[in-house]
Structure 1
Amino acid sequence: MPDRFATVLRLAFAAALVAVFVLALLPTPDLVQFVSWQDKIEHAGVFATLSLLGLAAWPQHAGRLALALLAYGAAIEIAQSFTGYRMGDPWDWLADAVGVAVLLPALMWRRRPTPGAA
């Protein structure tokens, strides 16, 4: 991948991390809720997007990226617990982990033995 493209992807990933963290600490807007677990779907979707963006930026570091995103999700939940208007929820973190699971195929592919390798 050209260096300039990798740099753009990495900057986009960093900007997305900052934006998600800031949005996670703002008061919750009143939204139409279609299903009772819509919040969990949103968490999984956001973390799947972050995972794919991070994987595009650092394709050789899927495992580290997964661990870092799980820690990032936990940090968000801890930070939310310190606000008076948000609440840290371990189920939200589990939904984050479901989103990070999109990295599993990349992790499995990296661990496959190469043909002919002894």
Structure 2
Amino acid sequence: MPDPVQNRVPRWAIFLTVLIALALAIATLSPGMPAIGPQGSDKWQHFAGFALLVLPLGYARPDWGLRILIGAAAFGGVIELIQPNVGRAAEWADLVADIAGAAAGILAMRLLTLRRG
């Protein structure tokens, strides 16, 4: 039987993840948000946003990499499904950038946590 204390996620990691997810939801689901940067740069913004999203949980629970990636991909997918209902365009390329960013963030945290012990 797994030890419940070992499977805990620190509250700070949950809090930061929810806070970042909320910011991403507001930024990606607000109608009429102007594009920032040159055309096509929004993919880098998706990448960076989802890399940031997974950092707290990826640091706190590096052994949960696949779970975190699946959760981030699902979150990105839901955002893309909702966007047409708020006057935004859904794009497969945005979802790919979300997943790639999440994977990069998880990998970065995995490498960092390997170095810490």
TM range, smaller chain = 0.7 to 0.9
TM-score, normalised relative to structure 1: 0.74
RMSD over equivalenced CA pairs, Å = 2.4
**Counterparts of 1:46 and 1:96, CA distance in 2:** 8
- Structure 1: which 5+ runs fail to align? 111-118
TM-score (norm 2): 0.75
Counterpart of 1:56? 59
Consecutive unaligned residues of structure 2, counting only runs of 5 or more, are 1-8
Size of the alignment, in residue pairs?
A: 103
Compared CA separation, residues 25 and 9, structure 1 to 2 (3 A):
same
Structure 1 moving runs of 4+ over 4 Å: none
Matched, 1:27 2:31: yes
In our comparison, the structure showing a higher alpha carbon Rg is 1
Question: For residue 100 of structure 1, what is the aligned residue in structure 2?
Answer: 102
Distance 1:51 1:38, change over 3 A: same
Alignment partners' CA distance in 1, 2:61 and 2:94: 25
Identity %: 25
